[in-house]
Chains A and B, each alone.
Chain A
């Protein structure tokens, strides 16, 4: 049973970089896809990207220029960095996972990130 928990600063200033960590328990990193998604009132549910079973990142085309994802298997964690944030990046951010790259069975509880000065 995979369990996921997001952590990171809840308030980020405009133009700065949002950084989140997802801590994983119960899942082998080379057996799952590790994803980030977000949900805002204005844009609904939005896929940000994922790290595949080989550790390679794949990003949404709409966010690709600002997103970096990575994994540290020794810490059972994977990471999201989103640069040059604006108020439009205010959302609940989720980490999620599945053995398939096509959907997500396992989700973190989500963390509300607010972009504001």
Chain B
């Protein structure tokens, strides 16, 4: 099974700043079958990005995904207050351990 390692574990930033989250796979992911989710407290995860770089329906363009092979990135261009939550990457049945974006 592929293992996914997210970094950093915690990212401390201010509203309006740019966030860069990393997801590294233990082996190459074919077909770019990688997704990113945002989870707000008390809610189910919400799909942000699928197929590594495609925004899910209703997701604002400040969210973007990139990468291929074993290294993938989620970028939030300008952090809004509701973005200070936890983010997960996912491939198949495996999730990363999450990155928490907190207010600096």
Contact = CB atoms under 8 A, between A and B. Distances in A.
Interface of A: 44-47, 60-61, 94, 96, 98, 100, 102-105, 107-110
B44 A105 contact: no
B50 A102 contact: yes
Nearest to A110: B44
B47 interface: yes
B52 to A, nearest CB: 11
Number of chain B interface residues as a range: 20 to 34
B95 to A, nearest CB: 4
Contacts of B47: 98, 103-105
Interface string B1-40: 1000000000000000000000000000000010100000
Given A103-B35, A103-B50, A44 B95 contact: yes
Contact of B95 (A46, A108, A109): A46
Contact of A107 (B45, B57, B90, B94): B45
Contacts of A103: 35, 47, 50, 90
Nearest to B32: A102
11 contacts: A44-B98, A45-B45, A45-B88, A47-B92, A47-B93, A47-B94, A94-B44, A102-B33, A103-B50, A109-B44, A110-B44
B95 A45 contact: yes
Contact of B56 (A47, A102, A105): A105
A94 to B, nearest CB: 6
Given A44-B95, A44-B97, A100 B44 contact: no
Contacts of B97: 44
